[in-house]
Amino acid sequence: MNDKQEIILDRFTQLCKAHGLKITPQRMAVYNALKTSKEHPSADKIHKQLVCDFPSISLDTVNRTLITFARIQIIDVVEGQGEPRRFDPNREDHHHFYCLSCNKIIDFHDPDLGQIQLPKEITCTFTITGKRLCLTGYCDHCSHQAPARAADITK
């Protein structure tokens, strides 16, 4: 285990205690796998990755654990398009680009976009808990393969 992982797991221990969750090897593994991910993995992807080192871990536990983490707000769930639910280790304010071809979800940041003013009829009527710009299109890799393709929702 490297330094970065150790810091992540120390923080994890604090968070669990603060929320009355038991610290189990399964939870540590799931937390570590998601937080060191540079992507937006599904429960199944995390499970497949963990099974090598932790053969007995079940998919249900991975999924349930991720949902628990989202509930106590130490990770996020991202908007998709009907595909498997995906999770986001990054809780900073940021925006998403969705590649319609390879299904990658790519983060981007923009200080200007943080300033976005919402119309009053929205802010007064609803309780807003999240605000994000969602772009769709084709990533650099996929645009090269198939330029000017129409959106194909079934991949």
Partner DNA sequence: TTGACAAATAAGTATTAATCCTATTTAATA
Partner DNA sequence: TATTAAATAGGATTAATACTTATTTGTCAA
What residues make contact with Zn ion under the rule CB under 5 A?
A: 99, 101-102, 139, 142
Q: Which residue, 23 or 142, is less far from Zn ion as judged by CB?
A: 142
Contact 37, 89 (CB under 8 A): yes
102 binds, among Zn ion, DNA, its own copies, none (CB under 5 to 8 A by kind): Zn ion
The DSSP symbol for 55 reads T
Minimum CB separation of residue 100 from Zn ion in Å reads 8
Minimum CB separation of residue 147 from Zn ion in Å reads 13
Q: Which amino acid is at 146?
A: A
Burial category of 121 from C-beta neighbours within 10 Å (exposed 0-12, middle 13-18, buried 19 and up) = exposed
21 binds, among Mn ion, DNA, its own copies, none (CB under 5 to 8 A by kind): DNA
Q: Which residue, 129 or 154, is less far from DNA as judged by CB?
A: 154
Select the residue interacting with Mn ion from 107, 113, 142, 143 (CB under 5 A).
Answer: 107
Tokens 């969602």 — which residue? Answer: 134
Q: How far apart are CA 91 and CA 99, in angstroms?
A: 21
Stretch of 10-18, 21-29, 44-52, 106-114 contacting its own copies, by CB under 8 A: 106-114
Neighbours of 74 (CB within 10 A): 20
Name the residue among 108, 11, 6, 133 with its Cα closest to residue 69.
11
Q: Which of residues 126-155 bind DNA (CB under 7 A)?
A: 154
Q: Which residue, 42 or 63, is less far from Zn ion as judged by CB?
A: 42
In three-state secondary structure terms, 119 is coil
44 binds, among Zn ion, DNA, Mn ion, none (CB under 5 to 8 A by kind): DNA
